[in-house]
Structures are given as structure tokens and as C-alpha cells.
Structure 1
């Protein structure tokens, strides 16, 4: 870790009226494993080097981050940012750093070059192992539904994983290219979490952003797979908007976000009905919640920690849902269903729900996908939904489930 004063180099073009063609895709192309890449609908970020790591201790995470950013500013970094990931378990160590150098560009979706195709991945030689098996996952969903009918809790999000092993070392830059170009309007990331391990993915879901006193959250809950047939794709989207099960699941999440933000915001605006958000693989019910911050010292990360975990990734009541997750899922979620993002020393930032992702090591990938389980859930349908969500990442490596 560097202790000498560093001056961050910023190529900040996100506010320009006419973004430079190729600026964002140049940062995407410049990514190398070990650095941190993050693309959002407002900007593209690429780090180089580590000035400081946010420590893990008994202090609240927002306090540790604020202290680290203040120290970086005193050390000579004029506009320090923190970039990285926070795990699902808030007691586990986060992977947040202040980079030595941060390059920024406009959003990927504003760069015309993002439409250029990437090389087709070679699917040969991959080995797949589901953990748990689809049958075991369905049984876990059925058991949760039975408990809901007994009144134990009202929702839980249950996940499963796919372990993929490649015959040769992984090409993370190529995977990142395919993820970003397939869904350029989303949130694409590649971030080291521990030595030799990278969190990589393309999430559709903004947990919360803060810019000045303006706060935005965009909870997603209720999903259906896309179809290659246009008429069927439209039918599925229309059916999702009318699905009583999915609308109930969505309302639980929106209510949770509303209650959490009410502590920090005035003028909260919550639309009465959701709209649709689409990715290349899925349709999602979406609600954009906006508000005005009452406490100027409340950072975007503090808001994110107050919201996390929402019922969209855990369930409700939260404590009971966490316990059901621990009892049912035969793996540690790690950074899956945590948050990834950036924050600055002024408290502004964007923090995203860590879904549609994988943890990558030398030749291995662990993919994660979850589904919201409510009393009306069908185990076979929830298993199919998680399979559809795997498609986001499977397409990036050329593997069929």
C-alpha cells in the first residue's frame, strides 16, 4: 500500500454535453484483472493502484469509509473516491479501496462504439456443477412456502449456484466486454475481493444513489424470462405487469425501501404501480423512488447500509429470512446480494445490488442466482427463474445450462 502522497488523475467527461466517442469503451478495453472497473448509467470508472484500503473493525462501515477518504484527501488526493464491494453479511470484511488513480468517462450507453460486437466465446471444455441440485433447490422453496402458510414469515429470497470449471485460465477482460456490451444500460463491474478472486457481473438494480441532496432508489422484484420471439416476449412482459404474485412480491420490497428512506428523506415519491425494466435475459418489475435528503452528512453509503439487505435479496422479516437462508442454502453467499459501487468524500455515490454475478478464480467461476419466494410461489417456477437469471453470465462464457 502506498504511503507517499499521491495526486489522483481524473479524466472527467461524464458531464459533457457531447461525450467523446470511444472514451467509455476505451476504459472498458483497458481493464486488467486486479484493477477495479465499474460502469453505471451515469459514468464509467477504471482504477489504477491502491492508495488505501478501508479497514475492517468494529466501527460502522460508513464511518470507516469517511475516515479513509478524509485521510486520502490530507495525503494529497484532491478528489478521493472509494470503489469496491460490500458482502451480503454486514459483519464480514468489505473489499473497498481508495485508488491511487481514477479515470472516468461518460456512461457506456452514451458511447456509440459499445454497439460493436465482441468475439464469440469458446464453450468447449467447460464443466458445470449445480450447488444445490435443481431438485434440492425446489425442495427448499417448497419448505419455505409451507412455513409461510403457517405464518412464520412472508418472503424469503433463496439462491442457488453453478460452479463452472474451464480447461484454461479465465479471460476476465473478454467476459467483462461481453457482459457490458450485452447490457450497456445496466451496472457492469469487475472488482478484486480477495487475493486471486474477482467479483464480476452486470446488475440491473440500483440500491441507492445520492447526488447533493437528491436520493434515488430503484428496487426490482418480480421477474420473468425474456423470449427470442417478439410476440411471446411482449406477452410475458404484459403478464408480469398483471401477475398478482409478482406484484405482491414487488410491493413488499418497495414498502421496505420506502420505510428505510423515510428516516433520511423528505418529499419521498413512490409511484403507485411498477413499470418494467428489461435486460437481455429478463423482464423485471421496477419502481423508482426519489426523495430529498434532510441530513447533508448522510452519505450514499450510509443510505445503502440502512437499506441493505432489502426484501428483494433477503426477505421479510429480515432476521427470520436471514435464518431461513442460512438453514437452506448450502453455500456462503459472499459478495452475492451485497452491494458494489463508488462514493466520494462529499457523500455522493452509487451503490448497486450485487446480482447477475460470479466470483472468478484462475479456472473457476461460481455463478449465483436467486428468486423471491412468497406463499404463492411454485418450486418449479422459481427453479426455472433462477435458471433464466444464470443466462446473463452463461452467455458471457458461451455455455448452455
Structure 2
């Protein structure tokens, strides 16, 4: 966003989502609500009122980086050993039947000698990840030089509403890509046949279908397929539905869906409780929802993954992994490292 925009009233992310339809009903035809909802919807939201140009989630000028700022330091939060221990504890709780899946995240905090450029980060992410949705939205007042910005390249569509039609594309289950075409294809087939990854994916899809059923008279969810990003193969299911009531807007649906088990876990309340207890990380808007809604109730929202939080010279890069029975702590740590490559590659000088 270029320039200040008023925040949607309500404070928390959930309250802002609920306030959006009434706010837009009294606004002009060219008005949209856009921005970010945090992972924990009880935390302050960052949805703002803008004009139709902000349908592009990152409506700021973008520029390819000539050189990245020089690094002054880096710090993993939590430390790798603590992350592996948290995964082991999550597996213990899964074995007791307390929950079926929980997503545990970690971060890498980078401090540069000069401020990070949001337009340059967004430009590099867009160029390197053309099939993803580039996001660049302010979490704080964007005119404040110390404002935090959420910047990333999300491969995951949380929800799109166009009239009575809704579509989603949840991702869960992944494996690193290979530069060798034959090995890369083999890994994709390995993911499609992985019992552990298909179970993880099925948990996500079933929770989404359960959340959609009260709103839709028809839902279609085919078998999962492969979805490629530069770094990873993912299992993806293209879900579509038809709304029963046209008064149900995209923000109504986001409030019902978010956070999905792709970023939280299942059962939802138990998984969120475990995350708060053992993750050791302030996610902020990471793994939240980023997007827009117009006065007709149409909108498009992506899951805030493959992203970082920028504030001056500080950049926090996030990644998470879905923990289910059969997960391995060392492998999950490695998976989060691969996922961080999306942001880290964008810091490379060309």
C-alpha cells in the first residue's frame, strides 16, 4: 500500500473480518477492504480500507534488487535443538490421541547494516516465484519508518469468492525439489504415494469441507494432485463449491476457515493450545490470511506462508511443518529450512 489507509474498526483480526461486510455496504463502489489477518485471530488485525487498485495484495511499487543489504547478524528462534524437542513433544501428544496434527513453526531473524527495502524484496519474490501470490502489506501504520511489513510469495489459496462460486487450494504434505529432472519426477511420485503425507493432507481437506458445508449446497474435492514451487513439491486439492446464500461474503468464509489445519492443526482448539504452549514463537501475521474483499462480497485470500516480517534493519523469516504420526523431528527441521529458501533466495544479489 502506498500511503496511510484507515484501519477497519474492531481491533482483533476476527472482529475486523466480521465488521467488513457492513463497512463496505456503506462505502463507495470503488472501495475494498484489504490487508492481513493474524494467525491468532484474537490478536490485532491489519485490515485497511482502500480503493480497487488494492485488489492486488501487494499494491506497492516493486523493484528488482541490485544488491542486498550486508548482514550484521542472524539468530534462529527457536534454536534448532529446541525445535526438534518441540516436534518430539508434539509426537508424544499425538500418540496419546490428544490431537491428530499440529503445525510447528520457527523463524530466522536477520539483522542488516542498512534497512531492508520492501519494494525490492517484493520485486525479487515476484520474479523468482511467478506462480505464487506476492504479498506486501503493512502490519503497522505504513508512514512510520519503523513500521512492520509482511512480505512474501504465497503458493496457497485460502479462499476465492466470485458471486456464488468459491474455490480453495489447500497445500499439505511436501518434499524438496531436485535440479535433476529424473530425480525431481521421482520425488513427486514419492510424495503422491506417501502414506504419511497423504494422511496429513487428508486432515486439512476434511476440516475445510466441514467448515464449508454450512455455507455451500455443493462442494467438489477431487483426489490430491502435485503442486510445484521452485523449492518444493506439495500435495494440493482444488476445492470448489456453490454458496447457499449470496449474502455470505469472502470474509464470512475466512472467519469460518482460518486457521486451517494446514497452518494450525486438528482438532483446532487442541492444536492451537499446543502451539501456544510449546512452539516458543510469536507468529504475528505469519500463517495468517492476506487478501481483499469488495462491496459485492467477492474477494481473494491467500495463506501467509513463504514470508517474512520486515521492520527497518530487521527481517524475520518464518516456516512451519505439519506434525502427524510418523513425523521425524530432524526431517521436519530440514523441511522448514527448505521452505525458508523462498525468502532467503530473494535476498541474493543478481
Fold shared, TM-score > 0.5 on shorter chain: yes
The secondary structure found in structure 2 opposite 1:170 is coil
Does 2:275 correspond to 1:329? no
Pick from 125, 130, 139: which aligns with 1:179?
125
The offset of 1:374, in angstroms, is: 0.3
Pick from 145, 153, 162: which aligns with 2:91?
145
Closer, same or farther in 2 for the Cα pair 1:49/1:194, shift >3 Å?
closer
The offset of 1:376, in angstroms, is: 0.7
Q: Give 2:137's aligned residue.
A: 191
2 CA distance for matches of 1:104 and 1:208? Answer: 14
Does 2:10 correspond to 1:56? yes
The offset of 1:258, in angstroms, is: 0.8
The offset of 1:125, in angstroms, is: 2.8
| Alpha-carbon contact 2:251-2:293 (below 8 Å) kept | yes
Q: Give 1:365's aligned residue.
A: 315
Q: Give 2:53's aligned residue.
A: 102
Question: TM-score, length-normalised on structure 2?
Answer: 0.92
Closer, same or farther in 2 for the Cα pair 1:48/1:104, shift >3 Å?
farther
Q: Give 1:244's aligned residue.
A: 195
The secondary structure found in structure 1 opposite 2:346 is helix
Alignment RMSD (CA, Å) = 2.2
| Alpha-carbon contact 2:167-2:240 (below 8 Å) kept | yes
The offset of 1:71, in angstroms, is: 3.2
| Alpha-carbon contact 2:69-2:116 (below 8 Å) kept | no
Closer, same or farther in 2 for the Cα pair 1:101/1:209, shift >3 Å?
closer
Q: Give 2:240's aligned residue.
A: 290
The offset of 1:126, in angstroms, is: 4.5
Aligned pair count?
A: 340
Q: Give 2:186's aligned residue.
A: 235
The offset of 1:102, in angstroms, is: 2.5
Closer, same or farther in 2 for the Cα pair 1:197/1:286, shift >3 Å?
same
Closer, same or farther in 2 for the Cα pair 1:395/1:57, shift >3 Å?
closer
Q: Which segment drifts farther, 96-105 or 319-328?
A: 96-105
Q: Give 1:220's aligned residue.
A: 171
Q: Give 2:144's aligned residue.
A: none
Q: Give 1:256's aligned residue.
A: 207
Pick from 92, 114, 121: which aligns with 1:168?
114
| Alpha-carbon contact 2:31-2:294 (below 8 Å) kept | yes
| Alpha-carbon contact 1:87-1:336 (below 8 Å) kept | yes
Tell me, which stretches of 5 or more residues in structure 1 are unaligned?
A: 1-34, 36-46, 108-113
1 CA distance for matches of 2:226 and 2:87? Answer: 25
| Alpha-carbon contact 1:49-1:99 (below 8 Å) kept | no
Pick from 75, 91, 114: which aligns with 1:129?
75
1 CA distance for matches of 2:67 and 2:230? Answer: 17
Question: TM-score, length-normalised on structure 1?
Answer: 0.81
The offset of 1:160, in angstroms, is: 0.3
Pick from 53, 57, 70: which aligns with 2:25?
70
2 CA distance for matches of 1:180 and 1:274? Answer: 26
1 CA distance for matches of 2:225 and 2:343? Answer: 25
1 CA distance for matches of 2:280 and 2:54? Answer: 39
1 CA distance for matches of 2:64 and 2:288? Answer: 29
| Alpha-carbon contact 2:105-2:281 (below 8 Å) kept | no
CA radius of gyration, larger in: 1
2 CA distance for matches of 1:268 and 1:242? Answer: 25
| Alpha-carbon contact 2:208-2:260 (below 8 Å) kept | yes
